[in-house]
Amino acid sequence: MTSFTRLNRIMGWVVFAIALLVYTLTLEPSVSLWDCGEFASAAYKLQVVHPPGAPLFLLIGRLFSLMASSPENAGYWMNMVSAVASAGCVMFTFWITTYFAERMVSDDNQLKTLLVLGAGTVAALTNTFIDTFWFSAVESEVYALSSFFTTLTFWAVLRWWKTAEDIKSDRWLVFIAYMIGLSLGNHMLNMLVIPCVCLAYYFRKNTITSNGVIMALVAAAISLGFVMKIIYPGIPWLMARMDRLFVNDFGLPFYSGTIAAIVLIGLLAGFLLFYTHSKGKRNWNIVVMSALCVIIGYSSYAMVIIRSKANPAIDMNNPEDPYKFYGYITREQYGDRPLVYGPYFNAPEEDTKSLGTRYFKGKNQYEEGGENYDYTYPDEYLTLFPRMGKSNKSNDARGFREYGGMSDVQNSIDEIQGLAQQQQRAMTSEEQEESQYLNYEKPTFGNNLRYFFNYQLRYMYLRYFMWNFVGRFNDQQAVMGNTRFDGNWYSGLPFIDYFVVGPQKGLPDFYKNQKGKNAYFFLPLLLGILGLIFHLKAKKYDFWLVMTLFIFTGLLINVYMNQPPYEPRERDYALVGSFQTFCIWVGLGVLALAEILRKFMGKISAIAATVISLLLVPGNMGYQNWDDHDRSGRTIGIDMAKNFLGSLEPNAVLFCNGDNDTYPLWYAQNVEGFRKDVRIINQSLLPTDWYSSVLLNKVYASEPLPLTLTKKDLQTGSFDGGIEIIDPDGEVTSLASAVKQVIEENNPGAERNYFKARKVSFPVNRKAVIASGLVRGKDTSEIVNQIQYSIGGSYISKGDLVLMDLICENARQGWKRPIYFTSVSGYDFYDLNDYLQLEGLVYKFVPIRGGSNQRQPQRVAEDKLYKNLVKNYRYCGMKEKKNFFLDDKAAYVPGDLQQMASLLARSYLGKISYYNQYARVVAEKGSGGIPVPPGYASVDAFLAIEGKKIAEYRKKGIEVIGHILTEIPENVMPMRKEYKADYGLVLLELGDTKTAKKTLDLAVKDCTQYARYFVRWEDETFGAREVQSSRETLKGIIDGCNQLGRKDWAAEFTKLSKGI
Give a yes or no: residue 395 inside a domain: no
Residues near 339 by Cβ (< 8 Å), separated by ≥ 6? 385, 386, 559, 560, 562
pLDDT at 921 over 80: no
Question: Which is it for the CA torsion 734, 740, 741, 742, positive or negative?
Answer: positive
The pLDDT tens digits of the residues spanning 381-392 come to 999 999 999 887
Give yes or no for a contact between 840 and 863, defined as CB atoms under 8 angstroms apart.
no
The DSSP 8-state label assigned to residue 975 in this structure reads: P
pLDDT, position 45: 95
Q: How far apart are CA 71 and CA 931, in angstroms?
A: 56
The pLDDT tens digits of the residues spanning 312-354 come to 999 999 999 999 999 999 998 887 889 999 999 999 988 888 8
pLDDT, position 483: 76
pLDDT at 420 over 80: no
pLDDT, position 749: 63
Are 183 and 40 part of one and the same domain?
Answer: yes
Nearest in space to 319 (alpha carbons), one of 307, 337, 334: 307
Three-state secondary structure call for residue 1020: coil
Residues near 35 by Cβ (< 8 Å), separated by ≥ 6? 49, 50, 141, 659, 663
Q: How far apart are CA 1015 and CA 498, in angstroms?
A: 16
pLDDT, position 854: 46
Residues near 530 by Cβ (< 8 Å), separated by ≥ 6? 589, 592, 593
**What angle is formed at CA 345 by the lines to CA 344 and CA 348, rounded to 5 degrees?**
80
Give a yes or no: residue 503 inside a domain: no
Give a yes or no: residue 80 inside a domain: yes
Are 617 and 653 part of one and the same domain?
Answer: no
pLDDT, position 489: 94
Three-state secondary structure call for residue 343: strand
pLDDT, position 60: 97
Q: How far apart are CA 543 and CA 582, in angstroms?
A: 11
State the Rg of the chain over Cα: 32
Give a yes or no: residue 817 inside a domain: yes
pLDDT, position 891: 87
- Phi, then psi, of 724 in degrees rounded to 5: -80, 135
- Phi, then psi, of 78 in degrees rounded to 5: -75, -30
Nearest in space to 385 (alpha carbons), one of 443, 334, 343: 343
Give yes or no for a contact between 1048 and 993, defined as CB atoms under 8 angstroms apart.
no
Half-sphere exposure of 724 (CA within 13 A, CB side): 8
* Measured CA distances, 541 to 158, 583, 599, 667, 1040 (Å): 12, 18, 28, 48, 71
Residues near 386 by Cβ (< 8 Å), separated by ≥ 6? 337, 338, 339, 341, 342, 343, 344, 448, 562
Are 616 and 735 part of one and the same domain?
Answer: no
Are 558 and 653 part of one and the same domain?
Answer: no
Of 851, 871, 900, which residue is a domain's last? Answer: 851
Are 665 and 624 part of one and the same domain?
Answer: no
Rounded to 10 deg, the angle between the 663-670 and 636-646 helix axes is: 80
Give yes or no for a contact between 493 and 157, defined as CB atoms under 8 angstroms apart.
no
The pLDDT tens digits of the residues spanning 998-1042 come to 999 999 999 999 999 988 887 777 888 889 999 999 999 999 999
* Band (855; pLDDT cuts 50, 70, 90): very low
Ordered DSSP codes for 569-607:
S--GGGGHHHHHHHHHHHHHHHHHHHHHHHHHHGGGHHH
3-state helix, strand, coil in the chain (%, to 5): 60, 10, 30
Q: What is the mean pLDDT of residues 791-806?
A: 88
Are 813 and 737 part of one and the same domain?
Answer: yes
Of 606, 629, 652, which residue is a domain's last? Answer: 629
The pLDDT tens digits of the residues spanning 938-951 come to 777 777 777 778 88
Beta pairing, strands 819-822 & 653-656:
parallel
Ordered DSSP codes for 660-708:
GGTHHHHHHHHTT---TT-EEEETTTTTSHHHHHHTTS-BTTBPPP--S
Q: How far apart are CA 861 and CA 980, in angstroms?
A: 23
Residues near 206 by Cβ (< 8 Å), separated by ≥ 6? 212
Are 133 and 266 part of one and the same domain?
Answer: yes
pLDDT, position 848: 92
pLDDT at 7 over 90: yes
Are 66 and 203 part of one and the same domain?
Answer: yes
pLDDT, position 857: 54
Ordered DSSP codes for 831-861:
GGGGGEEE-SSEEEE-SB---EETTEE-EE-
The pLDDT tens digits of the residues spanning 683-709 come to 989 999 899 999 999 999 999 999 999
Of 614, 629, 644, which residue is a domain's last? Answer: 629
**In sequence order, what are the beta bridge partners of 367?**
360
Q: What is the mean pLDDT of residues 264-282?
A: 94
Residues spanned by the domain of 899: 892-1056
Q: What is the mean pLDDT of residues 906-924?
A: 81
Share of the chain above pLDDT 90, in %: 65
Are 604 and 546 part of one and the same domain?
Answer: yes
Separate counts of helices (H) and strands (E) for the chain:
42, 20
* Measured CA distances, 1034 to 899, 905, 983 (Å): 19, 21, 14
Ordered DSSP codes for 33-52:
STTHHHHHHHHHHT-B-STT
Q: How far apart are CA 259 and CA 103, in angstroms?
A: 50
Give a yes or no: residue 328 inside a domain: no
pLDDT at 830 over 80: no
What b-and-e string marks burial along 777-790, b requiring 16 or more CB atoms within 10 Å of the CB? Answer: eebeeebbeebebe
Q: How far apart are CA 164 and CA 565, in angstroms?
A: 46
pLDDT at 400 over 50: yes
Q: How far apart are CA 701 and CA 503, in angstroms?
A: 58
The pLDDT tens digits of the residues spanning 541-594 come to 999 999 999 999 999 999 999 999 988 889 999 999 999 999 999 999 999 999
Give yes or no for a contact between 435 and 413, defined as CB atoms under 8 angstroms apart.
yes
Are 29 and 134 part of one and the same domain?
Answer: yes
**In sequence order, what are the beta bridge partners of 754?**
724
Give yes or no for a contact between 321 and 254, defined as CB atoms under 8 angstroms apart.
yes
Give yes or no for a contact between 157 and 600, defined as CB atoms under 8 angstroms apart.
no
Ordered DSSP codes for 258-313:
HHHHHHHHHHHHHHHHHHHHHTT-HHHHHHHHHHHHHHHHHGGGHHHHHHHHT--S
Domain count, the chain: 3
Give a yes or no: residue 693 inside a domain: yes
Are 745 and 811 part of one and the same domain?
Answer: yes
Are 605 and 675 part of one and the same domain?
Answer: no
* Band (821; pLDDT cuts 50, 70, 90): very high
Q: How far apart are CA 178 and CA 175, in angstroms?
A: 5
Average pLDDT, the chain: 90
pLDDT, position 826: 46
Give a yes or no: residue 70 inside a domain: yes
The DSSP 8-state label assigned to residue 55 in this structure reads: H
The pLDDT tens digits of the residues spanning 707-741 come to 999 988 888 778 877 888 887 777 899 999 989 99
Give a yes or no: residue 385 inside a domain: no
Counting every residue written for the chain, the total comes to 1060
